[in-house]
Each structure stands twice: as C-alpha cells, then as structure tokens.
Chain A
Amino acid sequence: MTIFPLQQFVSQALSENWWTYLVFGLIGFFFGFALEISGFGNSKKLAAQFYFKDLTVLKVMFGAIVTAMVLIFLSSAMGILDFSLVYVPETYLWPGIVGGVIMGIGFITGGFCPGTSLVSAATLKIDGIFFALGVLFGIWGFGETVDLYWNWWNTNSYYGRLTLMDVFHLPTGVVVLLVVLMALFMFWGGEQLERIIGKRDLQKEPRQRVFGAAALLVVALAVLVIGQPTTADKYARLMLTREIEGEKVQMPAEEILSGRYVQIHPGELLDNLADYRLRVVMLDVRDEADYNLFHIRGAQHVPLVDVPGRVPGLISQTTATPNTIIVVMSNDEDAATDAWRALVAEGIPNVYILEGGLNNWIAIFGHDDPDITPTPGPVADDDLRYTFPAALGDRYDAARPNPHEWELEYTPRIQLQRRRSPSGGGCG
C-alpha cells in the first residue's frame, strides 16, 4: 500500500492535527540549517556564482535538485510514494519567464534570494537584513499592483500540472537519467570554470565526489529499470476512505464499487448541478456517435481511451478548486466504471458514476418526450437503449431538465472530500 504522502497532509486540514505544523517547522529548520552550512547566508559567495569564480550556488542547487529527484522517483517506482499527490507547481509559462528574469535581476543586485536572505538575516548579516526588508516591501508591492494585470497573470499560458515528461513525451526514468547526466556535466563544467577563472586547484577537491556521482547514476538507472507504477498497479494498491454512519472506513476501491457508494442517482446529479457551491465536471466517455445523438448539457466528450490523458488537467483543476465533483457516465455503467477506476487510481478525489448511465437518465427525464423512443428488441450491455430522430446532442428537454421541476427520491452518495490546498503562495 502506498503510504506517502501521509494522509493527514492530503485529505485533512492542517489544523486538525497540531503536529503537522511541527513537521513543517522541522522541515523549515533543516532547510535553513542546510542553506547556512552551504554558505548561502553570505552574499559574496552567492554573487561569485555569476562571475564564474565559485560555483557553489550551482553545485548546491543542482545537487539538491537531483538528490531529491532521484529519491522521489525511486520512492514512486517502489510504490511507497504516490506521485500524483505530490505537489507539482503549475506551469504559467510567461508569468514564470518574466518573473524569473526579474528575479535574476534582483538576485545579482541584492546578492540573495528570499530564502537565503532569511538565513543571512538570522545570522545577523546586515546586508541580509536589508535584503529581507526589501523582500517584504516587494511582496507587499506585488499584492497592491497585480490587479493591473490580473488577467494576464492568471490566464496567460496556463498549462496546469505539466512535467518535463509531458513536454518531451519521454518516460519518467529517461527524464530522470537525462537530468542526472546534465547535472553531472554541469558540475564538471563548473569545476573547470573554477579552475580556469577562479584559479582553484582541483587536486584538492575530495575524491569521494566521484562516488557521489556514481551513486546518483545508479539510483537514476534503478528508477529507469523499475519503471513507474502503471495505473493498474496503483489501482490494486488503492484504499479509499468513506464515511459510513459517522465513521471513516477505509476499503479497497473494488469494495467501494460493489457497495455502490459512488454510483449517484440522476436526481442527485441534477441537484448538484444546480448547487452553486459546487463545480460539477461531467465526463461523457461514450463514443462520438452516441454523444452526438444525446448528452447532458454541459457534459464534456472524453472517449474512454482519452481519459488517462485528462488526468494531469483534472489533478490541477481539483487542486485549484477543491469543491469539484467529477461525474463519469456511459450508456449503462461499464465504460463509466472503467473511467472511474482510471481516475481514482491517479489520486483524483470526488469522482462519481452516473447510476444506470444515460439510459437511466433518459428513462427518468425523457420518458414523456415523443421524439425519444425505446429501441425495440434486445440491446447489448452499455449500448444506448433509445433512438432519436436526429443527432440533436443537448437540445432535448431531457438534456437540460429544470431542477426546480423535479422532486426525485434518492439516497445521497456524494461526500465531498476537501483536500488541503498545497499551493501556499498566493495561488491557492
């Protein structure tokens, strides 16, 4: 079973467990400690990076990135860490590029970045204290001026959760190995620059660094060989939490399905669509012909084969808007259930299946529409059991029933699980 990240940090608010703050405080403590012992409290050491004399910044930063990276993806490959729950900062390409260049200018002007200035200020470096005060001023200034370009900042070149694997269409293990190779090359190049420009004697560098490089390569190769868990692997390990009679019960995903805890009555879907506090995303996983004949207004057409491709986008959406309910639907339930499996295995919360599918929906909302007639004779499982005069899509009354006209009896199934928003900045 995948135990990390700990569920107290995922599915509960931090305030529910006081010790979670302590964990973050300890992480921060060792973060500050590691920065200080690396010399990041000293602006001259940081600035030297940009004159090729002392490449400590490059070595520490890329050393940290590749160390953390190989361990993260090794844990994921071994099935102890669910990577889909790990917070990957969303890609807003242009705001990131412009902000990045501005940051670089600030870095060389002031000699720090925000984190290192805190450590510097904490060890009484006067320039660090002034930089940190400048940081507070700059943050305040941003909050006061971002309204001027609010739309650009929020919508321009937004790609959601986008990894290098998605960009280059390469398996995770390959990307991990390439990043390690690139880092090792940069370390080598950096040392050459230090030798030529900084006049450093490389003979005095510790020999053991070669073993460090070898260890990184070995772990990266292991990540490549083991491979990341498939959706089926994740599904088999998956335990879902369900509140039954006031108690939280954990059970395997298949038991959730057979207990029919996630199959929602059409009436419940209709009521939730009308609930302004919720954002309901409907995914219609049937083939295009059926979708064109009839679909619920607002349902997106995502054929079953395309469902896995929608996972990163849905992770971003449900992270940004925690009150999102996803309802998958097919003609009966078979294809929708497969889609449900694919989504929950990737860690997407609040996914439900339309009970009885579109056939059941039409039986309830479309039975008095003279244009919609039951197909005579036997119909295969998960096929449409109605015939339509034309492919009118959502232009039938039954595709957009008025929630105030229908009083349907059903057992509510939806339990909104609100996850803690992991984006701590100003974006959550």
Chain B
Amino acid sequence: MTTAAPEKQKHGLFNRPAKPYVHPYVGGALLGLVLFLAFLITRNGLGASGGLNRLIAAGEDMIVPGHIDQTPYLLKLAGGDRNPLDDWSVPVVIGAIVGGAVSGLIFGRFKPELNKGPRVSNRTRLIMAFLGGAIMAYGARMARGCTSGQALSGGAVLSAGSWALMMCIFAGAYALAYFLRKFWN
C-alpha cells in the first residue's frame, strides 16, 4: 500500500510503476536474517547513528581540527591521529544508503515524493521532519544507539538496557501521538 504525494508526482528514473511493499512478516524475517548474519560473522549488529556520528566527526575534523582535541566526546572518535571513518559503522551506513536506493530503483519507488498527513502543508511537514530528526538523533546519541543499534541489535542479543530503551521509544512516541493526530491523519 504505497501512498504517493498526490499533486506533484513525477516520473521515477525508470518509470516503473511502484510495486507494493513485502508482507511485514517477510520483511521482518529478512531483516532478522541480515541481523543474524551480521552478528555471526562480525560480532556486531546493525547501526545507523553511530556511523553518521563518525561522518560528522570527520567533517568537523576537516573544518576545525583543533576543536576535536578539546571535546572529550569527539576525542574518542577522532582525537589525535585517529581516523574517525575507520570503524565498522561507516561502511554499514554507506551500504544501507546504497541498498535502500537500489531497492527503490528495482521496485519503482525511487522518485521524489513528500509523504505527509493530508491536512498539513509541505512547509510544516519539512520543518517537523528536520526537528524530529534532530530530536531523535540527540536522544539516540544519549542512549548510545538508535532504533537499529540498540532496539534491533541489542534486542536480538537480549541486552537488558536495549529492551528498556525500546519500551521507552514506544512510550515516548505513543505519549505524543495523540497530540499530533491531526498532523498525521
């Protein structure tokens, strides 16, 4: 059940009609298989915010090199002669972007779109998206991992902290969902 933005739908790169998504249980099983193989081969699970964090640190290191060495948090990633990009999380993030794009191309979903609730202007939706991203990422770094690195990966290896955190993500989202119901519906 794909929902495209109604008014300004453009043609995708290959002009394919968008195919429906796979059944959620199939998607879950495939994602679980990838997660299992990641742990089996590499001892690490999946992650997104950690790799992005390192990309940011690398960027900061290029623009203001001295700053990294004065910030304890960044020091761990890129202090001294450390290369912040030399970490498992970086190729995972890059791979995920490529994988998402390839899947989008194959199934005709690689096209500019703005997904939003019917009652919201594009401008509001984009401001909220940016804001939500900033809030989410701040929380993810505080919790030492996002939905992928903590909830998914930590959940699968039965980390107690990851399970507590997963409950809190859902609790936080459900608590606010009522107040944002007009935004999404």
Contacts and interface: CB of A to CB of B under 8 A. Distances in A.
Interface in B100-126: 100-104, 107, 109-117, 122, 125-126
B40 interface: yes
A424 B141 contact: no
Q: Which of A69, A97, A120, A424 has the most CB of B within 10 A?
A: A424
Interface in B110-162: 110-117, 122, 125-126, 128-162
A122 B161 contact: no
Given A68-B156, A69-B157, A63 B28 contact: yes
B172 A104 contact: yes
B3 A114 contact: no
Contacts of A98: 139, 142-143
What is the interface of chain A mostly: helix, strand, loop, or mixed?
helix
Interface in A52-97: 54-56, 59-69, 71-72, 75, 81, 83, 85-93, 95-97
Contacts of B154: 88-89
A102 B25 CA distance: 28
A20 B89 CA distance: 12
A15 to B, nearest CB: 6
B77 to A, nearest CB: 6
Given A27-B37, A38-B27, A143-B57, A103 B158 contact: no
B147 to A, nearest CB: 4
A86 B157 contact: yes
B161 A89 contact: yes
Q: Which of B29, B33, B141 has the most CB of A within 10 A?
A: B141
Interface stretch (A4-12, A321-329, A377-385): A4-12
A175 to B, nearest CB: 6
A63 B141 contact: no
Contact of B131 (A47, A134, A150): A134
Contact of A39 (B27, B73, B90, B173): B27
Given A33-B100, A127-B115, A424-B44, A115 B32 contact: no
A128 B141 CA distance: 19
Interface in A203-259: 206, 209, 212
B100 A175 contact: no
A94 B29 CA distance: 31
A105 B173 contact: yes
Interface in B13-33: 21-25, 27-33
A422 B144 CA distance: 13
A124 B112 contact: yes
A65 B28 CA distance: 8
B31 A106 contact: no
A1 B120 CA distance: 59
B104 to A, nearest CB: 3
A61 to B, nearest CB: 7
Given A4-B40, A147-B71, A117 B133 contact: yes
A376 interface: no
Interface stretch (A164-172, A301-309, A362-370, A393-401): A164-172
A387 interface: no
Contact of B33 (A67, A107, A135): A67
A106 B137 contact: yes
Contacts of A25: 91-92, 94-95, 98
B29 A63 contact: yes
A112 B131 CA distance: 11
B183 to A, nearest CB: 8
B157 A88 contact: yes
A135 B96 CA distance: 16
Q: Which of A72, A87, A88, A89 has the most CB of B within 10 A?
A: A89
Interface string A141-175: 11110110010010000010111111100001001
B173 A136 contact: no
B72 interface: yes
A175 B49 contact: no
A63 B31 contact: yes
Contacts of B116: 43-44, 127
A97 B21 contact: no
A24 B91 contact: yes
Contacts of B77: 426
Q: Which of A13, A45, A123, A159 has the most CB of B within 10 A?
A: A123
A276 interface: no
A316 to B, nearest CB: 11
A376 B3 CA distance: 89
B177 A50 contact: yes
Given A27-B92, A426-B50, A122 B100 contact: yes
A327 B97 CA distance: 45
Given A100-B169, A146-B73, A425-B47, 19 more contacts: A25-B91, A27-B38, A27-B92, A28-B93, A35-B31, A37-B27, A45-B3, A48-B184, A63-B29, A67-B33, A72-B36, A86-B157, A92-B143, A109-B176, A122-B100, A153-B142, A162-B161, A163-B159, A424-B50
Q: Which 6 interchain pairs have the tightest Cβ spacing?
A: A110-B132, A63-B28, A104-B172, A28-B95, A134-B133, A67-B32
26 contacts: A5-B39, A14-B86, A22-B91, A27-B46, A31-B34, A32-B101, A34-B31, A36-B100, A71-B40, A89-B154, A95-B143, A96-B144, A96-B168, A97-B165, A101-B175, A102-B138, A107-B147, A115-B48, A122-B100, A125-B114, A126-B113, A134-B135, A162-B161, A163-B159, A176-B158, A424-B149
Interface of A: 4-6, 9-10, 13-15, 20-39, 41-45, 47-51, 54-56, 59-69, 71-72, 75, 81, 83, 85-93, 95-128, 130-144, 146-147, 150, 153, 159, 161-167, 172, 175-176, 179, 187, 206, 209, 212, 422-428
